Chain A
Amino acid sequence: MTVPHSVLLRVATVNKSFQLYNTAADRLKERLFGLQRHTEHHALKNIDFALHAGESLAIIGQNGAGKSTLLKLITGVMLPDSGLIEHYGRITGLLELGTGFDPTMTGRDNITINGQLIGMSLAEIEQQREEIISFAELGQYIDAPVKTYSSGMIMRLGFSIAIHANPACFVVDEALAVGDARFQQKCMARIRHFREQGGSLLFVSHDIAAVKQLCDRALVLSKGQVAFDGNAVDAASVYQQLIAKLDDRVSSVYDKIFGHQQLRFSRMTLLGSHGEQSVFMSGEKMTLQLEVDAAIDLDDLTIGVMIRDRFGNDVFGINSHLLGQSINFKAGERRSFAYQIDAELGHGKYTISVSLHTGLTHIDNCQHWLEDAISFRMEGVIGTAFVGVTRLPIRFISDHKEQ
């Protein structure tokens, strides 16, 4: 496709700030007459990197870190304040997903429109049209107006056109998250194929696992600056530390508190491989440390824990009684306990509720109940990828011996 190691995209000391004005007319007054009328938001500061042909680079960072702005500058939709952006070869991708689609026209006709807009020639479009249609899996609907399509169908058609435009560098952003899981995996497979053919990739995502799978290299953006530029695995851990520091910390506001509180939780912490953290990867070891203070003597105490998903569904709950433990407290005592959990959970947000009571259930003598005491997020996978809420222990058996 291209000579290896030739530079495909160069971003040199690029700065971009957005001026915030009260009205758009104020902006015009400043541009034309030089009157200072704005407050400044520095979106990108001295961004510097190059993408070589055949390389795949991920850009990761939190919301507001400047990822989208950087992509817009790279594709030329926005202009930088200073610095230089050069590219050699066609850069297209999911940013342009479905651009220019005319809802009253058929999917087939829209291939021509979108294809031309992203830079394909009519000959190229004709040559690729059947491939595009078959990849998009729209069947007979390809001849129905696009306004009758679901958002997933539009995404499928858009993706199919974009990848068949045969760019030198393909840009993938969060738009890939639209569409069902099966088609997403088909897209991923197609992107991998594109990589194997020697195409370059620019991948903007929160999905650390996908980044590690697809990219050799990753840039971590933080507050408009490059916080890290290096191999994807190291970048992922830099990113994790970054969000652990900044993102929703262990929540201190309890939604619901019940119980007599003669015995109470005085402290709780959620630990992972990087110490106290709120973002975990599937398969990571998670430790819930609990400290209990007792004001009275109490025997046969039970400490319970419940993990719920973001919809409030119980995912998993257990207590020390079920685990065959009997705990006895003396007045004035303070003791520490810990649950060690293999966080075999799927992507998303979860909460942990904890309880202190006697006997098997909290109905008997509820001392302290903290509803949704801690929240955490699952992002990325250690080991085998999977879909769903949890990774069950599983084996695959075949009656044939595969090589």
Chain B
Amino acid sequence: MIKSMFRQLPHILLFARQDLLDRHRDSLLGIFWVFLQPLAYILIYSLVFSELMKSRLTGFEDQPFAYTQYLISGLLVWMLMSNTISQLSAIYQTKAHIIRKIPVSLSIMPLYVPLVETVIYLFGMLVFALMLILMGQTITWYWLWLPVVLVLVLAVAYPFGLILGMLGVFLPDLRTATPIALQLLFWLTPIVYLAAILPESVQTFVHYNPFSWATESVQAIVLYQRSPQLGHLIALFFLAVVLLLTARWLQNRLEKDIRDLV
């Protein structure tokens, strides 16, 4: 597995490069298009929701940018997860022309997707951190938890996306449904709003929503300046293990047919 990953590293890097740089080569703003999407969302949501939500952030009444911080910490990690999942759900169609011609591994070749999304996420967090420093905030030692959260988030999103991608070869409906479902999940995850505004029954759902485990972990580190809940991290870890095993089982079962079909 590791050996084969090493052998295919040039391919992964090539695809990542194509996705990040080559795609925007002819456009005026170039690679900055990649970062404009999160920026646009941040602007829209802060303008629309900051007044609504500010009062709900108890303990931050004196900080005008508290809501924006809350929003960005959740939004960036959400985009990392949802972009990874939605791209992977169609990965065997996106790269069909390669899979038909070159013996690439079905589980390793798509690694370029989380790689690209991680680069975008890290860049976003870097800008975010600079912004915080400019506003006079301190970057605490709790930020060291971020890489842990990041690895867990990817370890969940990657196999989950691959599972959708493999099933999507047989059920094209799944590829269409994934972005819609993700849109729905976005509003079922406390990113734009605070979990506290929800009715009790919905709060229970949010409590068991793995996406909120991830967003709440980052919100804890950045906004509340504390360690993420250990329960969330452990839950993400076990979810990752289950999903990775499922993805592997599915690949053993379906690889031959996927290669025949794409």
Contacts and interface: CB of A to CB of B under 8 A. Distances in A.
A76 interface: yes
A102 B26 CA distance: 13
Interface stretch (B36-44, B71-79, B163-171): B163-171
Contacts of B22: 102, 104-105
Nearest to A145: B26
A95 B101 contact: yes
A24 B261 contact: yes
Interface string A12-32: 000000100000110110011
- Residue among B11, B97, B170 with the most chain A CB within 10 A? B170
A128 B239 CA distance: 48
B14 A78 contact: no
B14 A116 contact: yes
Interface string B233-257: 0000000000000000000011111
Interface string A83-121: 000000000000110011010110000000100111001
A50 interface: no
B-side interface mostly: helix
A31 B101 contact: no
Interface residues of A, number: 26
A95 B260 CA distance: 16
B100 interface: yes
Given A77-B102, A96-B102, A118-B102, A102 B172 contact: no
A81 B25 CA distance: 43
Given A77-B100, A77-B103, A100-B97, A27 B257 contact: yes
Contacts of A95: 101
Interface size class of B (residues with CB under 8 A): 20 to 34
Contact of A117 (B26, B98, B259): B98
Contacts of A104: 22, 25-26
A77 B99 contact: yes
Interface of A: 18, 24-25, 27-28, 31-32, 75-79, 81, 95-96, 99-100, 102, 104-105, 113, 116-118, 121-122
Nearest 8 A/B pairs, CB to CB: A76-B103, A28-B170, A99-B101, A24-B170, A79-B256, A96-B101, A78-B259, A116-B14
27 contacts: A25-B170, A27-B170, A28-B171, A31-B254, A76-B103, A77-B99, A77-B102, A77-B103, A77-B259, A78-B256, A78-B260, A79-B255, A79-B256, A95-B101, A99-B97, A99-B101, A99-B102, A100-B97, A100-B98, A100-B102, A104-B25, A113-B14, A116-B11, A116-B14, A117-B14, A117-B98, A117-B102
